[in-house]
């Protein structure tokens, strides 16, 4: 299963997705509310690379950001108000594998 949306809508509607889905974003861009995101069920992807990662995101120039489960944790642990602060919390988690304070 694959879904396409933007980061702002994903944050608003995150609970509509299964916790085990993965979130991919375009390579080489700074995250914003308008950033396109690909959400997919890894188990549904048949084409794989040598590390058993799905090929489809790579083919369209996307990389793994985090899972829906991790995004839910970031949102729960973040006291950020507003989209820009939420995106900063997401970036912090992505870069440091830790929640921002």
Domain ranges of the chain: 2-96
Average pLDDT per 10 consecutive residues for the chain, totaling 101 residues? 96 96 96 96 94 95 96 86 89 81 55
Residue 53: partners with Cβ closer than 8 Å, 6 or more residues away: 64
Q: Are 5 and 34 in contact (CB under 8 A)?
A: no
State the pLDDT at residue 48.
Answer: 93
Q: pLDDT tens digits, residue range 62-89?
A: 999 999 999 999 998 887 688 889 999 9
> How far is the C-alpha of 37 from the C-alpha of 77, rounded, in Å?
22
State the pLDDT at residue 81.
Answer: 80
> How far is the C-alpha of 77 from the C-alpha of 73, rounded, in Å?
6
Largest CA distance in the chain: 40
> How far is the C-alpha of 74 from the C-alpha of 67, rounded, in Å?
11
Q: Are 97 and 90 in contact (CB under 8 A)?
A: no
> How far is the C-alpha of 19 from the C-alpha of 72, rounded, in Å?
8
């Amino acid at each position: 299963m694959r879904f396409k949306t933007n980061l702002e809508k994903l944050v608003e509607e995150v609970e509509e997705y299964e916790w085990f889905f993965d979130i991919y974003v375009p390579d080489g861009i700074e995250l914003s509310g308008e950033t396109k995101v690909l959400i997919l069920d890894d188990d549904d992807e048949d084409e794989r690379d040598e590390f058993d990662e799905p090929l489809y995101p790579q083919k369209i120039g996307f990389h793994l950001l985090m899972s829906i489960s991790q995004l839910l944790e970031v949102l729960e642990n973040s006291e950020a108000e507003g989209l820009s602060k939420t995106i900063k919390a997401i970036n912090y988690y992505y870069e440091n594998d830790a929640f921002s304070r």
